[in-house]
Amino acid sequence: MRILVIGSGGREHALVWKIAQSRLVAKIFCAPGNGGIAHLAECVDIKADDVFGLLEFARKEKIDLTVVGPEVALSLGIVDEFIKAGLKIFGPNKNAANLEASKVFSKQLMQKYNVPTADFKVFDDPEAANKYIEKIGAPCVVKADGLAAGKGVVVAKTVKEARGAVASMMQDKIFGDAGKKIVVEECLAGQEASIMVITDSKQVLALASAQDHKRVFDNDQGANTGGMGAYSPASIVTADILVEVMEKVIYRIIDGLAKEGIGYRGVLYAGIMLTKEGPKALEFNVRFGDPETEVILPRLKSDLVEVMLAATDEELIKVKNLYWDPRACVCVVCASGGYPGDYAKDKEIKGLEEAEKLKDIVVFHAGTKKSGDKILTSGGRVLGVTGLGDTIEDAIHKTYKAVSKINFEGMHYRKDIGARAIR
Ligand code: AMP
Ligand code: GLY
């Protein structure tokens, strides 16, 4: 088969790496890809949100299956366009992608189908939002309705901060139309976990659990990032909790969508808060999580392409089980100086080969590019150094040993990835 993967981050490197191990695959393309992906796939210079450019490429290259990494193309309806053109593509259609593209849609669906989630109200008027914030007090959470590249959520510690978020979203319009409507909700306390499933709308297969680390500094301090590392399995997700999440969150939302006439095919990501009252859904994403994918796929023993094809063909029932490596996996993100603010680029990365020579280590590239024989930094999150170990401690130890071999000017990373699992 000829496969096209869309995207350019660590998640897409992990997808390409796993897809390359499939016995079904002869050739992989990645649009636009990155310096690490280029070793496994032919990178093509088409942007990840250029729906018609990607469609034309897939037609011309006779692609048998397209796999979409990031959410933007999904929300633009890439799946609908590919299906219209008779091409196979793994991912939800535009209506289903609203689950991530509109927080209002997502929260209202959760409410309608009884998915446990934070209490909330929707506003299209800043005055009314502020009045509500005064009433419920702080802490509270303010969310822009639309896609905002992961920056549309403010967990406000004070009423002033919450009002500031309302003003910047609705009056200063920092996210454009994405902030026309907002959700104001109750702040939940607890540990977070990420649960992903693959579904064809009827059958559902859970992937291994994971936990990511969103803040830039150790002990969850500092600004939010796209993710500074992850580990799998998330030990706080016990078998009982997983059953509860599947029953109360995953099945209810997939069945709810079906009742609305929307069949969900692809991977569904639920961000879960494990509260004292039980698991509650924080959000849904309609794609693989990043960096969760980097720690889940190295543990997956089943053929991912077979599973994605079955979901795309609505024959997931044929896949009885997913098989997992019982070992733990840890991913430490090496970021550019300044990230998550403005950061430097074009720094040469040294030590990659030495790190990758280590047993059970794979280095996923997130923001890199090839320049001659050199690999240069090209993004905020640069590498996801990933290691497997018999225990989480062992995986942490091996991964940080690999990180110590790598350097580039300004490189920074968290020193406590996975530590929560031991505590
Ligand atoms: P979201 O994009 O909705 O997942 O929000 C991003 C992050 O904001 C989540 O991973 C949580 O850390 C935090 N968050 C979102 N909603 C809430 C909430 N109701 N209570 C506490 N934290 C939240
Ligand atoms: N790791 C969070 C996300 O992929 O949105």
Q: Residue 209: which pLDDT band, with cuts at 50, 70 and 90?
A: very high
Q: What is the DSSP letter of 207?
A: P
| Neighbour count for residue 113 (Cβ, 10 Å) | 17
Please give the distance, rounded to the nearest whole angstrom, from the Cα atom of residue 282 to the centre of ligand 1: 6
Q: Which ligand is nearest to the CA of 103?
A: 1
Q: For residue 354, what are its two tokens? A: 């030495």
**Residues 24-58 pLDDT 10s:** 999 999 999 999 999 999 999 999 999 999 999 99
Cα(361)–Cα(169) distance, integer angstroms: 42
Q: What is the pLDDT of residue 23?
A: 97
**Residues 291-325 pLDDT 10s:** 999 999 999 999 999 999 999 999 999 998 999 99
The answer to whether residues 211 and 420 touch, using CB atoms and an 8 Å cutoff, is yes
Residues having CB closer than 6 A to ligand 2 are 212, 227, 285, 289-290, 292
**Residues 259-279 pLDDT 10s:** 999 999 999 999 999 999 999
Position 240 pLDDT exceeds 80: yes
**Residues 177-203 pLDDT 10s:** 999 999 999 999 999 999 999 999 999
- Nearest CA residue ID for atom 19, ligand 1: 187
Position 423 pLDDT exceeds 90: no
Q: 191, 275, 282: which to mutate for ligand 1, most atoms within 8 A of CB?
A: 282
Buried b (16+ CB within 10 A) or exposed e, 305-321: bebbbbbbeeebeebee
Containing 317, the helix (H) or strand (E) segment is none
**Residues 313-363 pLDDT 10s:** 999 999 989 999 999 999 999 999 999 999 999 999 999 999 999 999 999
Weakest-pLDDT range from 69-73, 181-185, 220-224: 220-224
**Average pLDDT of the residues in 224-246:** 95
Please give the distance, rounded to the nearest whole angstrom, from the Cα atom of residue 86 to the centre of ligand 2: 30
Q: What is the pLDDT of residue 226?
A: 86
**Average pLDDT of the residues in 207-217:** 95
Positive or negative, the CA dihedral 246, 247, 249, 255 is positive
Please give the distance, rounded to the nearest whole angstrom, from the Cα atom of residue 131 to the centre of ligand 1: 22
**Average pLDDT of the residues in 142-170:** 93
Q: What is the pLDDT of residue 224?
A: 85
Q: What is the pLDDT of residue 77?
A: 98
Position 150 pLDDT exceeds 80: no
Let me know the angle formed at the C-alpha of 147 by 107 and 258, rounded to the nearest 5 degrees: 45
Average pLDDT, the chain: 96
Q: For residue 200, what are its two tokens? A: 């064809």
Please give the distance, rounded to the nearest whole angstrom, from the Cα atom of residue 83 to the centre of ligand 2: 26
| Neighbour count for residue 359 (Cβ, 10 Å) | 8
Please give the distance, rounded to the nearest whole angstrom, from the Cα atom of residue 285 to the centre of ligand 2: 8
- Nearest CA residue ID for atom 5, ligand 2: 289
Position 64 pLDDT exceeds 90: yes
Residues having CB closer than 6 A to ligand 1 are 118, 141, 143, 153, 155, 185-188, 192, 271, 282-283
Please give the distance, rounded to the nearest whole angstrom, from the Cα atom of residue 359 to the centre of ligand 1: 36
